[in-house]
Amino acid sequence: MTAVHPHLVRPVSGGGLPWSPPGGGVSIVIPTVGRPSLDALLRILAREVGDGAPVELLIVRDRPVEVTVPAALRACTRVLAGRGAGPAAARNVGWRHARHPWVAFLDDDVLPRPGWLRALLHDLAAPDPVGGVLGRIEVPLPHDRRPTDWERCTAGLETGRWITADMAYRREALAAAGGFDERFPRAYREDAELAFRVRAAGWQLRHGLRRVRHPVRSEDRWVSVRTQRGNADDALLRRLYGPRWRQLLEVPRGRRTRHTAITACGVLAVVSGVVTALTRRPATRRTAAVTCAASALGWAAGTGEFALARIRPGPPQAAERLTMVATSVLIPPMATYHWLRGWFAARDARMVTGTRRAAHPGSSERPDQRFQTSRRA
């Protein structure tokens, strides 16, 4: 553990937060895939990390990309090689190399607000039961129009629970929980799942004062279809935590059940339509035709409701509305496909034990039983 020297603890004029580093300082871990936004993040940290702040910076390259570290950060920075296995695995590489008792995770596309480091050190001056502190996420949205579907999706980060865009944990708490579950290959659900296990290990989590901005990344019109891959991670969580997994992990209820119903109606409409066209029996033809019409109506009603729910809060531009219609047709079957794929892939996963004794978030209760899962390479 690196000692904190007395000259690093000094008052700040003007009513600001003082340097109050947690014993031993903090390691900042940034997993990256080489986004251009990393340069802007490092420039901000170069302005923040100075005056002998008790900080080390660990950049984990999850792809073979060049990382340019500003001169002001080189003395306290290490660039580590990830395995290309996703952000959960990259963060594990980072915190396991950390020298300090606190580990702050930042995504490579956030922009810390001025005074972020000082506020971080203030946040981490927390009593022992606190094992993690969440930063405040700000997503800038346009003021001259209503936000698009993708902008609204990104804005959901502002109310996300324990998301690792800016989340700090005690290294001891990470070790007690076993770190991130590397079966989650995307930046999706792995943070909520870790937070649950940290609380189950007896630690409390709370919200801090530091702030970062999370700009909306530029994406093409099909991004909402690609994000349906996350349903495979939801299926894994259902295997691990049972039917109450959303409640246990504080994950809001989505539309997967409705997506499944819409998909079932669509499949039934196609199958019964084929039967109607091929059968020669009048009775069978009538039954198949009625089934086809009813299921097609159900598919159209469900898809239409879904599209309207996405169009209403968005901008009135024709291109955005056309995108919502097209993707609303594709999302239900893609969500269902990825759920089934994830359910099958996680068929050997063991359910976590002791879920009924989970400590309530923010409580000081320590569960009587440790949570265990099977971890497969």
Q: What is the pLDDT of residue 5?
A: 30
Q: Domain check: are 246 and 299 in the same one?
A: yes
Q: Is residue 349 included in any domain, yes or no?
A: yes
Q: Is residue 322 included in any domain, yes or no?
A: yes
Task: Identify the three-state secondary structure at position 372.
Answer: coil
Q: Domain check: are 153 and 191 in the same one?
A: yes
Q: Is residue 284 included in any domain, yes or no?
A: yes
Q: Is residue 2 included in any domain, yes or no?
A: no
Q: Is residue 176 included in any domain, yes or no?
A: yes
Q: Is residue 366 included in any domain, yes or no?
A: no
Q: What is the pLDDT of residue 373?
A: 40
Distance CA 47, CA 116 (A): 10
Q: Domain check: are 178 and 232 in the same one?
A: no
Q: What is the pLDDT of residue 49?
A: 86
Q: What is the pLDDT of residue 1?
A: 34
Distance CA 152, CA 318 (A): 18
Q: Of 219, 241, 268, which one is at a domain's C-terminal end?
A: 219
Could you tell me the residue range of the domain that residue 328 belongs to?
225-356
Q: Domain check: are 158 and 244 in the same one?
A: no
Q: Of 219, 249, 274, which one is at a domain's C-terminal end?
A: 219
Tell which residue, 54, 78, 44, has the closest CA to residue 166.
Answer: 44
Q: Is residue 313 included in any domain, yes or no?
A: yes
Q: Domain check: are 191 and 302 in the same one?
A: no
Structure tokens given for 267: 């499949």
Q: Domain check: are 297 and 275 in the same one?
A: yes
Q: Do strands 26-32 and 102-106 pair parallel, antiparallel, or not at all (unpaired)?
A: parallel
Q: List helix spans (H) across 161-212.
A: 171-177, 190-200
Q: Domain check: are 91 and 182 in the same one?
A: yes
CATH number at residue 173: 3.90.550.10
Q: Domain check: are 242 and 348 in the same one?
A: yes
Q: Domain check: are 181 and 274 in the same one?
A: no
DSSP conformational letter for 78:
E
pLDDT tens sequence for the chain (377 residues): 333 332 222 223 233 444 455 567 999 999 999 899 999 999 999 999 875 678 999 999 999 989 999 999 999 999 999 999 999 999 999 999 999 999 999 999 999 999 999 999 999 997 889 999 999 999 999 999 999 999 999 999 999 989 999 999 999 999 999 999 999 999 999 999 999 999 999 999 999 999 999 999 999 999 999 999 999 999 999 999 999 999 999 999 899 999 999 999 999 999 999 999 999 899 999 999 999 999 999 999 999 999 999 999 999 999 999 999 999 999 999 999 999 999 999 999 998 875 544 444 333 333 333 344 433 33
Q: Is residue 371 included in any domain, yes or no?
A: no
Q: What is the pLDDT of residue 21?
A: 52
- Number of structural domains in the chain: 2
DSSP run (H or E) holding 30: strand 26-32
Q: Of 201, 219, 237, which one is at a domain's C-terminal end?
A: 219
Q: Domain check: are 33 and 146 in the same one?
A: yes
Q: Domain check: are 139 and 256 in the same one?
A: no
Q: Domain check: are 198 and 60 in the same one?
A: yes
